[in-house]
């Protein structure tokens, strides 16, 4: 093969076949979000470092940017590597990962690290790892595999089996407690179950059950009660949301300019939960709208491509993965703009964080693997090479 044949349609290498079957527009949009994240973390890093500076932390304005660069350098090979997997291997990875993830959640109450009153992290090699982040893409694809079984044999109790797995995961999450992740897992599963043939009657029952569970959380989980009360009444300690809204408002349409924002220094977690507010302050509402449109474009791109998919497993898995990304982005942006009650959830591909970023890379790699269009590639034996 000549050098000019690299990434040509005659390239029969693994990399060449991957390039011509991958959803390149989808990959491009994800890479743009990662690049935006690097810029956003660079803007938020000085404020985050200042808030943490003290006896146990020596101030380094670019500390969080350096860490984010490290996560990106680790995450991108993971994303590309997973995207090259055959669908069967992606399915196996999800099933094994789901088992390991649920095991990790089960041992958290005994060996987990407590942060801000919640036990959600395992300390591995000096780094805090959040198992629920890694479980999300694994569980979504594993659930799709279970639900897809009913298309091969309607007698298989796929819906009850998948629902039982969800209940087990939700129970383990509530031991932490983590209401937000429980709600996210449940919402994605409902979307998958609906596509798998869940009746409207059962969908309505699940809706009532979800409202009932939210009511129970409001009654018996103090921090949920506090957050909902503050959101509905506007009274009490709304410092976080007020500072986020102030930051976005101060940026106007075009922002104060890179590094010029001052409201970010009063933001809690400016590099993670409220990074959208930092973007709003320094780059303006135009940048915020661009990011929202990118997330919407990713969701629309995947869902429209699935209209041509005839494999129920791929349809269910890809739908779940892209709904998770879109819903998580919507929650983060909604909290920063005071459209939703406060909830600590990262902005996909943009917020600083090791567990979240690497897990998103795994999930996106799975999404790209499952949506590869093998029909665009002729069998190797039938490929006609360009003349030498």
The predicted-structure confidence for 120-159, as pLDDT tens digits, reads as follows 888 877 778 889 999 999 999 999 999 999 998 888 899 9
As a whole number, mean pLDDT of residues 238-261 equals 86
* DSSP conformation class of 54: B
Helices and strands (DSSP H and E) totals, the chain: 13, 3
Per residue in 309-321, pLDDT (tens digit) is 889 999 999 999 9
Q: Is residue 116 situated within a structural domain?
A: yes
In the chain, the percentage of residues whose pLDDT exceeds 90 is: 51
Question: Which among 149, 132, 39 is positioned nearest to 91, based on CA atoms?
Answer: 149
Kindly calculate the radius of gyration of the chain based on its CA atoms and give it in whole angstroms. 22
If you write DSSP's letter for every residue of 5-32 in order, what string do you get? GTTSTT--SHHHHHHHHS-HHHHHHHHH
As a whole number, mean pLDDT of residues 260-287 equals 90
Per residue in 276-302, pLDDT (tens digit) is 999 999 999 999 999 999 999 999 999
How far does CA 163 lie from the centroid of its chain? 21
Q: Is the pLDDT of residue 4 over 60?
A: no
Question: To 10 degrees, the CA torsion angle through 152, 156, 161, 162?
Answer: 20
Q: Is residue 94 situated within a structural domain?
A: yes
Q: Is residue 222 situated within a structural domain?
A: yes
Q: Is residue 21 situated within a structural domain?
A: no
Q: Is the pLDDT of residue 357 over 80?
A: yes
Q: Is the pLDDT of residue 197 over 50?
A: yes
Task: Quote the CA–CA distance of 234 and 247 in Å, as a whole number.
Answer: 18
Task: Quote the CA–CA distance of 245 and 342 in Å, as a whole number.
Answer: 12
Its domain, for residue 253, covers: 42-51+61-379
Per the model's pLDDT, the better-predicted residue between 172 and 112 turns out to be 172
Q: Is residue 245 situated within a structural domain?
A: yes
Measured CA to CA in angstroms, residue 62 lies from 42, 257, 283, 296 at distances of 7, 18, 19, 31
pLDDT for position 226: 75
- Dihedral sign, Cα of residue 224, residue 225, residue 227, residue 228: positive
pLDDT band at 262 (very low <50, low <70, confident <90, very high): confident
As a whole number, mean pLDDT of residues 329-344 equals 87
Structure token digits, residue 208: 């009532």
pLDDT band at 1 (very low <50, low <70, confident <90, very high): low
- Dihedral sign, Cα of residue 81, residue 325, residue 227, residue 178: negative
pLDDT band at 53 (very low <50, low <70, confident <90, very high): low
**Domain tally for the chain?**
1
Q: Is residue 17 situated within a structural domain?
A: no
Measured CA to CA in angstroms, residue 182 lies from 167, 221, 364 at distances of 10, 14, 21
pLDDT for position 218: 78
Q: Is residue 15 situated within a structural domain?
A: no
Task: Quote the CA–CA distance of 42 and 77 in Å, as a whole number.
Answer: 22
* DSSP conformation class of 374: G
- Dihedral sign, Cα of residue 298, residue 300, residue 303, residue 309: negative
Q: Is residue 6 situated within a structural domain?
A: no
Task: Quote the CA–CA distance of 352 and 346 in Å, as a whole number.
Answer: 8
């Amino acid at each position: 093969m000549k050098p000019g044949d690299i990434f040509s349609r005659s390239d029969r290498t693994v990399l060449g076949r991957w390039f011509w079957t991958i959803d390149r527009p989808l990959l491009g949009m994800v890479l743009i979000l990662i690049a935006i994240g690097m810029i956003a973390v660079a803007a938020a890093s000085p404020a985050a470092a200042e808030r943490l500076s003290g006896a146990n932390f020596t101030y380094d304005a670019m500390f969080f940017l350096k860490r984010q660069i490290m996560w990106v350098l680790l995450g991108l090979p993971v994303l590309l590597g997973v995207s090259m997997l055959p669908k069967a291997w992606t399915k196996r990875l999800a099933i094994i990962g789901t088992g390991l993830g649920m095991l990790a959640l089960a041992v958290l109450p005994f060996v987990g690290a407590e942060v801000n009153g919640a036990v959600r992290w395992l300390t591995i090699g000096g780094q805090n790892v959040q198992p629920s982040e890694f479980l999300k893409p694994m569980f979504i694809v594993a659930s799709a595999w279970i639900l897809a079984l009913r298309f091969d044999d309607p007698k298989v109790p796929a819906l009850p089996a998948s629902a039982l797995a969800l209940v087990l995961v939700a129970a383990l999450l509530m031991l932490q407690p983590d209401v937000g992740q429980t709600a996210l897992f449940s919402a994605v599963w409902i979307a998958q179950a609906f596509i798998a043939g869940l009746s409207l009657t059962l969908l309505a029952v699940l809706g009532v059950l979800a409202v009932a569970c939210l009511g129970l959380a409001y009654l018996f989980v103090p921090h949920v009660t506090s957050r909902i009360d503050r959101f509905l009444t506007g009274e009490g300690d709304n410092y976080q949301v007020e500072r986020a809204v102030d930051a976005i408002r101060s940026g106007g349409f075009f922002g104060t300019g890179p590094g010029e924002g001052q409201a970010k220094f009063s933001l809690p977690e400016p590099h993670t939960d409220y990074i959208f507010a930092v973007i709003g302050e320094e780059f303006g509402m135009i940048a915020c709208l661009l990011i929202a449109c990118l997330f919407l474009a990713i969701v629309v791109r995947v869902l429209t491509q699935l209209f041509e998919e005839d494999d129920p497993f791929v349809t269910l898995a890809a739908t779940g993965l892209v709904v998770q990304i879109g819903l998580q982005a919507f929650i983060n942006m909604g909290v920063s703009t005071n459209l939703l009650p406060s909830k600590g959830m990262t902005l996909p591909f943009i917020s600083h964080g090791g567990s979240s970023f690497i897990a998103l890379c795994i999930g996106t790699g799975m999404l790209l693997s499952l949506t590869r269009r093998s029909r665009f590639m002729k069998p190797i034996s039938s490929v006609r090479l360009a003349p030498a």
